[in-house]
């Protein structure tokens, strides 16, 4: 009996030593989580269906769940948290809503709403100085954009004659709140999907050599590493969520702002809804068919789990990486 215990202990030690591991921290019934914002190594927030928001202030050990009053039927696909007291959540449509809490999630103030027919918000992105942007599916031409300059307390619709229109059947996936990313001070980049999958940069669309041409295919998420002296690196992931084990044209990367796109030597192992830089070289990507990591800027990907997750985010200030997905599952990625 004792020898069995010793052997089991050894095997366990070997498994732990073999690399990145995920540790599931929380499960919450029917809630589908797609919004996540990790403030630091202690504070993280998630959001999802049934008006659900959850928060940890102890690095993921315990989670406090909230159901936003009056919004019990809404799907909060994205969240941006500034600290343990303040956060902004986005309900997709129709109508679309943005709400903000100033008291740690106990109550929420409606700060933006739009009941335009067909409105569907996809993702928000914020800069450190309180500027922020929310993007939604195209309504009669260009994509929908609204902006804030006060950490999401007030918002204004933004329209521009310069912004080139989307094409028929081209939209954005609200799968992880990461199809818009900041590129530099006050500039953001967006990826679309569906019948067309492209990248919007300087208000112009650029082709992407990623799978597209159906309602369920295209780019889902974009990650950008733009910290000199390293060369800027952009990684786009997606695929076809109806065929989530296929790796066909599901990931591309570019070192020159999209002039040339490259395919990884070993792509992620299936459809992926979110990609995130951890360092200049390390990335994590997740989707319904599993989690992959890269240690070379997105050129080679290794499957570390076949568990389904929708979103993976790193702490804005700190090292922690969390994942969240269906059935209210929240996990932490340990990267030794």
Ligand X SMILES: *[C@@H]1O[C@H](CO)[C@@H](O)[C@H](O)[C@H]1NC(C)=O
Q: Which residues of the chain form contacts with ligand X (CB under 6 A)?
A: 243, 246, 248
Residue nearest to ligand X (CB): 246
CB closer to ligand X, 101 vs 247: 247
Quote the least distance from Cβ 247 to ligand X, whole Å.
6
Using the minimum distance from each CB to ligand X, give the nearer residue, 74 or 197: 197
Identify which of residues 263 and 279 has a Cβ nearer to ligand X in the complex.
263
- Compare residues 115 and 248 and give the one whose CB is closer to ligand X: 248
By beta-carbon proximity to ligand X, the closer residue of 86 and 308 is 308
Give min distance, CB of 200 to ligand X, in A. Answer: 26
- Least Å from the CB of residue 7 to ligand X: 40
* Separation CA 286–CA 237 (nearest Å): 9
Nearest CA to 181 among 271, 216, 172?
Answer: 172
Least Å distance, CB 272 to ligand X, is 14
Q: How far is the CB of 267 from ligand X (least distance, A)?
A: 11
Closer to ligand X by CB, 217 or 285: give it: 217
For residue 214, the minimal CB distance to ligand X (Å) is 8
Of residues 111 and 195, the one with the C-beta less far from ligand X: 195
- As beta bridge partners, residue 182 has 188
Kindly tell me which of 243 and 263 has the beta carbon lying closer to ligand X: 243
What six digits make up the tokens of 200?
């919007």
Residue 52 near residue 33 (C-beta atoms within 8 A): yes
- Give the shortest CB-248-to-ligand X separation in angstroms: 5
CB of 118 to ligand X, least distance (A): 27
Cβ proximity of 146 and 90 under 8 Å: no
In angstroms, the first-to-last Cα distance of the chain is: 32
Which of 2, 39, 45 has its CA nearest to residue 315? 39
């Amino acid at each position: 009996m004792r020898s069995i215990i010793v052997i089991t202990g050894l095997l366990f030690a070997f498994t732990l030593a073999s690399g990145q591991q995920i540790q599931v921290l929380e499960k919450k019934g029917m809630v589908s989580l797609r919004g996540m914002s990790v403030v630091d190594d202690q504070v993280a927030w998630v959001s999802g269906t049934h008006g659900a928001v959850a928060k940890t202030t102890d690095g993921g050990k315990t989670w406090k769940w909230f159901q936003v009053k009056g919004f019990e039927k809404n799907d909060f696909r994205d969240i941006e948290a500034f600290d343990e007291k303040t956060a902004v959540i986005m309900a997709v449509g129709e109508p679309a809503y943005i709400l903000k809490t100033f008291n740690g999630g106990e109550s929420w103030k409606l700060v933006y709403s739009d009941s335009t027919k067909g409105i569907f918000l996809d993702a928000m992105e914020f800069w450190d100085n309180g500027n922020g942007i929310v993007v939604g599916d195209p309504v009669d031409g260009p994509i929908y954009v609204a902006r804030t300059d006060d950490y999401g307390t007030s918002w204004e619709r933004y329209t521009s004659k310069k912004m080139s229109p989307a094409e028929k059947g081209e939209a954005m996936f609200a799968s992880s709140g990461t199809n818009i990313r900041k590129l530099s001070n006050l500039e953001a980049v967006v990826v679309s999907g569906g019948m067309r999958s492209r990248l919007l940069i300087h208000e112009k669309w650029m082709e992407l050599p990623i799978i597209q041409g159906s309602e369920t295919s295209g780019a889902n998420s974009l990650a950008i590493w733009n910290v000199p002296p390293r060369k800027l690196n952009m990684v786009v992931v997606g695929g076809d969520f109806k065929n989530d084990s296929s790796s066909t044209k599901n990931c591309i990367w570019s070192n020159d702002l999209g002039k040339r796109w490259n395919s990884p030597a070993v792509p992620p192992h299936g459809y992926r809804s979110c990609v995130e830089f951890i360092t200049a070289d390390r990335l994590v990507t997740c989707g319904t068919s599993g989690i992959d990591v890269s240690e070379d800027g997105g050129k080679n990907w290794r499957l570390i789990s076949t568990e389904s997750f929708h979103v993976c985010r790193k702490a804005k200030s700190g090292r922690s990486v969390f994942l969240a997905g269906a059935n209210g599952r929240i996990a932490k990625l340990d990267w030794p």
